[in-house]
Amino acid sequence: MATYDATIVTDKGNQMINAANADEDTITYSKIVFSSDDYSSFTDNQIQGLTALNNKEISVVPQVSMTDDGSTKILGYGENESSDSGFYIKTYASYAKDKNGNEFLFSVAVSQNADYIPAKSTGNSNEIAYSFNIKFDRTENITLSDTSNIPVTLQDFNNFKTLTAKNLSDTENNANQYTDNKAKELQANIDTKQPNGNYANQNDLQKLQDNINSSISNPESSINQNINNLKNGVTKNNNSINNLQGQVNQTRSDVSNTQNTANSVSNDAMRYRGSLDGQSLDNFTTTGIYTGNPKDAPYPGIYSLSVFNDNASNTTKQVLTMVWNNNAGTAGNSTLTRSKNGGQGWQQWLQSASVIMVDSDDEVQKVSNANPGSLIIVSEGSD
């Protein structure tokens, strides 16, 4: 009995895998077949010896891509476009061609629960999809599809949503921490602003009181002196009051400036600002979060851009996180940073070590600023 829902590579397929790994031949996947052939009574060895299927009710050109673990994914979407009667799909198969164009049966999978495809004339949905995952040592001898034409499965989309949510959460936490630290610095600055100056103290008031008492006891001899003392005391107090008023006004100005700075930090706090689509990253200098597909990214992809402004050092910093790599066709988490000071230009992007997928040797120049230790994989497009 066949092993259900398992990919069984045929004898010819294994022979071609060995040839591709030895750099003696190439493999180009030519079609995915959805068949009503029933091989459930066959052993795995018997299926391995198959060279062709009898029935090929649906035959489609596959989409071939590389997965995160280095496997080759062969994906086919099919529908009943010709048959006026429904049928059960009991077998899935992939066909391929060698470097001379000779086509052969590469792999077979027997379905435990056959999918029913209704007749074309019913008007009901009759679409079906299936994928094979094969591991190769020498993937450069495997022809991949154009990554822009590879459909996204529900699992791919859910993985992308999870990664995007994590990146946005990390960015928000970093922004909140930055804002909290700046608010604490501003509050400390407000707390240290205290008015200073010369004021009439307790001793000055006591001397004035003594002079008044003396004047009462000897009014005829000291009245003029007391008047002068009173005038001097009033003048001194007026000067102290003026000084105090000046300090109060300065303190109010400092508090107002500090509050304006705090409001600026609050208003400039990290939040979603807009889209990067089709725009140059050089133009994004306002603190905030941006997402999309910029025209001048180091290599094509969908990104999350965080911009931070440090007014104290007059420095602007960009943190660019890749959330979808167009070259690899999968989600990723490569992070690049750069900064500029004042009116100077942007510095080069700095990138942590990572795996970088490019379409051809010409595209290698786009990632020439990758950190040491980065792995650059070049994949050749389909004919």
Do residues 232 and 311 share a domain?
no
Do residues 263 and 308 share a domain?
no
Q: Rounded CA gap, 227 and 308, in Å?
A: 65
pLDDT band at 329 (very low <50, low <70, confident <90, very high): low
Do residues 250 and 276 share a domain?
no
* Residue 383 confidence (pLDDT): 43
Structure tokens at 311: 């007014």
* Residue 298 confidence (pLDDT): 76
**Domain presence at residue 142:** yes
* Residue 70 confidence (pLDDT): 65
* Residue 382 confidence (pLDDT): 42
Quote the strand ranges of 237-300, DSSP E.
272-275, 288-292
Q: Rounded CA gap, 135 and 349, in Å?
A: 34
More confident residue, 154 or 366: 366
pLDDT band at 105 (very low <50, low <70, confident <90, very high): very high
Do residues 167 and 277 share a domain?
yes
> Which residues touch 344 (CB under 8 Å, ≥6 apart)?
none
Of the three residues 267, 286, 321, the one that is the final residue of a domain is 267
Do residues 241 and 275 share a domain?
no
CA distances from 6 to 42, 46, 131, 217 (A): 13, 14, 11, 120
Do residues 248 and 280 share a domain?
no
**Domain presence at residue 354:** yes
- Residue 239 zone, left/alpha/beta (φ > 0; ψ -120 to 50; rest): alpha
Contact 148, 381 (CB under 8 A): no
> What is the average pLDDT across 220-235?
70
Structure tokens at 149: 């034409």
Q: Rounded CA gap, 50 and 110, in Å?
A: 13
More confident residue, 255 or 76: 76
**Domain presence at residue 219:** yes
Of the three residues 201, 235, 267, the one that is the final residue of a domain is 267
pLDDT band at 361 (very low <50, low <70, confident <90, very high): low
Do residues 256 and 277 share a domain?
no
Do residues 141 and 59 share a domain?
yes
Do residues 198 and 256 share a domain?
yes
Do residues 165 and 293 share a domain?
yes
**Domain presence at residue 1:** no
Q: How many domains does the chain have?
A: 3
* Residue 221 confidence (pLDDT): 60
**Domain presence at residue 2:** no
From the CB of residue 16, how many other CB atoms can be counted at a distance below 10 Å? 24
Do residues 244 and 204 share a domain?
yes
The pTM assigned to this predicted structure is: 0.38
**Domain presence at residue 187:** no
> What is the average pLDDT across 26-31?
90
Q: Rounded CA gap, 318 and 346, in Å?
A: 10
**Domain presence at residue 184:** no
Do residues 206 and 305 share a domain?
no
Which structural domain range is residue 165 located in?
158-177+271-378
Contact 137, 37 (CB under 8 A): no
**Domain presence at residue 81:** yes
The pLDDT mean for the chain works out to: 75
